[in-house]
Structure 1
Amino acid sequence: MDIAQHIALIDELCLRPFPAEHGPSDGCTGAPGHFVAVLRSSHGLRADGPAERAVTVERYEEYRDALYERLAPRWGETDPWNLQTVLLRTEREEIPEPWAGLSARARVACLWEVEGTGRWVALAVTDRDGTDEVRLLAVVTREAPP
């Protein structure tokens, strides 16, 4: 998929009804109140060295930033959202999904409240777990960020 297709998917998820249960949902994972779409995923990176992983993370961050550049004129410019603070808060309070899971997997996200939809969109590169694949995720949720 290219940037235009990814933006079309995000737009669709901003309008699609949320599923009643957790599970696959037309190209993404759905749960009550949110969708998580994998826009890009590394393959076999778990076995590669840290240098290859760092290059992949950088490429995915550049792609996330390119998506941001296309979405910011529409939804507004925003500062990067530090997910480390959310992760630290999970130790002492209950953080709702999808935010708790996203903070456990990613360090920073681009975040917007999509006016007129009652939904939030986050774009994040999941790179916290060095034993897992690197992914670029689009999260669409009705749950406001904590």
Structure 2
Amino acid sequence: MDIARHIALIDELCHRPFPAGHGPSEVGAGAPGHFTAVLETSHGLRAGRPAERAVAVEQAEKERDALHELLAVRRGEEGDVLNLQTVLLRTAGEEIPEPWAGLSVSARVAYLWEARGTGRWIALAVADRDETEEVRLLAVVTGQAPP
């Protein structure tokens, strides 16, 4: 993992204009009001191999935590923790805006910061809910406040 590169990308996304439409971007995906950057991804863990998948999840969580620590120091605050499992449950009965609804389908928890002076939020999460997908370390930058 290249922490400096990941931090630079997150900083850039805090200032880059959001795309006009939905679609892939050079960092992951973009949509009106948010970017989802794939910082790290596992390889070959889409089907089966639960023991290897568990190791990949643990590694992604360690990388997320290392980024969390650095962002906390840089931003002068620990940031908040958003329980995405609760957000996922809420989607059954209420309209949860993107990117939060989609992130809750992919990940269980996100670390959050408000990027001061930009009107944007930063979220770090490990996408591991769907065992047919690779394990991914995600950074989401959005203008939509967390639910």
Q: Which bin holds the TM-score, normalised by the shorter protein?
A: over 0.9
Aligned counterpart, 2:89: 88
Of the structure 1 ranges 78-87 and 65-74, higher mean CA displacement relative to structure 2 is found in 78-87
The unaligned stretches of length 5 or more in structure 1 are none
Does the 8 A contact of 2:80 with 2:113 survive in 1? no
Does the 8 A contact of 2:113 with 2:123 survive in 1? yes
**1:26 to partner: Cα distance:** 3.2
Does the 8 A contact of 2:120 with 2:144 survive in 1? yes
Give runs of aligned pairs for residues 1-146 of structure 1, distance below 5 A: 2-75=2-75, 76-146=77-147
Task: Summarize deviations over 1:6-43 as a string: whole Å, max 9, x none.
Answer: 00000000000001111233323111000000001111
Of the structure 1 ranges 69-78 and 33-42, higher mean CA displacement relative to structure 2 is found in 69-78
Task: Summarize deviations over 1:73-117 as a string: whole Å, max 9, x none.
Answer: 122112432111100000000101000000011001111111100
Q: Distance in 1 between matches of 2:133 and 2:142?
A: 24
The one-letter code matched in structure 2 to 1:58 is E
**1:48 to partner: Cα distance:** 4.1
Q: Distance in 1 between matches of 2:42 and 2:26?
A: 21
The one-letter code matched in structure 1 to 2:91 is T
Q: Distance in 1 between matches of 2:9 and 2:82?
A: 22
Q: Distance in 1 between matches of 2:26 and 2:130?
A: 26
Q: TM-score, normalised by structure 1?
A: 0.96
Of the structure 1 ranges 25-34 and 8-17, higher mean CA displacement relative to structure 2 is found in 25-34
**1:49 to partner: Cα distance:** 1.3
Classify the secondary structure of the residue corresponding to 2:125. strand
The unaligned stretches of length 5 or more in structure 2 are none
Q: Distance in 2 between matches of 1:49 and 1:26?
A: 29
The one-letter code matched in structure 2 to 1:34 is H
Does the 8 A contact of 2:22 with 2:29 survive in 1? yes
